[in-house]
Amino acid sequence: MKKSLGAKIIVAATHVWVIGTYDKEGKPNMMTAAWGGVCCSQPPCVAVSLRKATYTYGNITERKAFTVNVPSADYVKQTDYVGIYSGRNTDKLSIAKFTPVRSDFVDAPYVKEFPLVLECKLLHTIEIGLHTQFIGEMLDVKAEESILGANGMPEVNKVAPFFYSPGNRTYYSIGEYLGKAHSMGKVD
Please give the residues from 6 up to 45 whose contact with its own copies meets the rule CB under 8 A. 6-15, 34-45
Is 63 a binder of its own copies (CB under 8 A)?
A: no
Peptide bond into 109 cis (omega under 30): no
Q: Which residues pair with 28 in a beta bridge?
A: 22
Q: Which residues pair with 154 in a beta bridge?
A: 148
Choose between 38 and 62: whose C-beta lies nearer to its own copies.
38
Per CB under 8 A, contacts with its own copies among 134-173 are: 135, 137-145, 148-149, 151-156, 159, 161-173
Give the residue, chosen from 2, 59, 64, 106, that forms a contact with its own copies under the rule CB under 8 A.
2
Member of 30, 82, 93, 106 binding its own copies (CB under 8 A): 82
Burial (0-12, 13-18, 19+ Cβ within 10 Å), 33: buried
Give the whole-angstrom CA distance, residue 91 versus residue 173: 28
Total site size for its own copies, rule CB under 8 A: 103
